[in-house]
Amino acid sequence: MNLTYILLYSVSIIAGRFVSTTIRENKLYAISNTDSDNNFQVTVYDLKEGLVRDIFNKGTSYSLAKLESGFDL
């Protein structure tokens, strides 16, 4: 439980306009708004034993474009 709290808190600081997060198997998925109103950023972190810093340094990010105005997650 403590590890989950630390991870979620850290992601919310990194993401800026934080939207959502979920953990599935050994991966943490974080969704946030980017500075542009037309995109969301999805970052996937591989959860492994070790320092929290090492987890966030190895995240992979993907950009999702909004299809029409007014769309929100």
Determine the structural domain holding residue 21 and report its residue range.
2-65
Chain-centroid distance of CA 20 in Å reads: 7
Q: What is the pLDDT of residue 68?
A: 64
Quote the pTM value.
0.59
41-67 pLDDT, tens per residue? 888 888 888 777 777 677 787 777 766
Which candidate, 2, 1, 20, 3, places its Cα nearest to that of 55?
3
| The pair of three-digit structure tokens given for residue 67, joined into one six-digit string | 């299809």
Residue 34 maps to a domain? yes
Which candidate, 73, 64, 8, places its Cα nearest to that of 36?
64
How many structural domains comprise the chain? 1
Residue owning tokens 């997650």: 73
Residue 49 maps to a domain? yes
Residue 11 maps to a domain? yes
Residue 70 maps to a domain? no
Residue 47 maps to a domain? yes
Residue 72 maps to a domain? no
Residue 12 maps to a domain? yes
Q: What is the pLDDT of residue 15?
A: 44
More reliable by pLDDT, 16 or 47: 47
